[in-house]
Amino acid sequence: MKPAGIAVTLALFCTVIAGKAAEPSPSITLEGILVIGEFYGPPNYGENPHGDRIEHSLFLQLPATPATQLSDSQALAPLDQDARSTYFVQVVIHDSQRSAAESAIGHRVQVIGVPVVPLTGHHRTPLLIDVSSLKPINAWRW
């Protein structure tokens, strides 16, 4: 194959791969109790408790795993077994949702958002959810 042919083939391959990576993940709906977790943060994440900063994160404590709550959903299919079977999901709240989230701490909530895999040391669970909607509920609906 000529270099131009290789370049075109490579460009098409990269476009297909980039297109797959850019596809948005489908939203999921999970229900649980909104709680706050406290963890050691930078610089040493607990190796030097006297010098490490304390971080607070919001979590959804689930009454049933995501796989159970979403038994008919394909949204969790690309995620690993730990993400599908966890009982704690870290929630990513945006500034516009902060007030509603703070008033819902300790209560049952329904969260709709995009599932995210952990990428940094600040991500404490095998599954995170980038929240688009958070509302209090009285009973589990799944």
- The fold of the 25-136 domain, in CATH, is OB fold (Dihydrolipoamide Acetyltransferase, E2P) (2.40.50)
SS3 call for 39: strand
Pairing of β 54-61 and β 88-92 = antiparallel
**What pLDDT, on a 0 to 100 scale, did the predictor assign at position 125?**
94
- pLDDT score recorded for residue 23: 60
Task: Map out the domains of the chain as residue ranges.
Answer: 25-136
Please list the pLDDT of the chain residue by residue as tens digits (142 residues).
Answer: 454 444 434 443 444 444 444 566 789 999 999 999 998 988 988 898 999 999 989 999 999 999 999 987 788 888 899 999 999 999 999 999 999 999 999 999 999 999 998 877 677 899 999 999 999 999 998 7
pTM of this structure: 0.77
Which residues does 138 contact at the CB level (< 8 Å), separation at least 6?
108
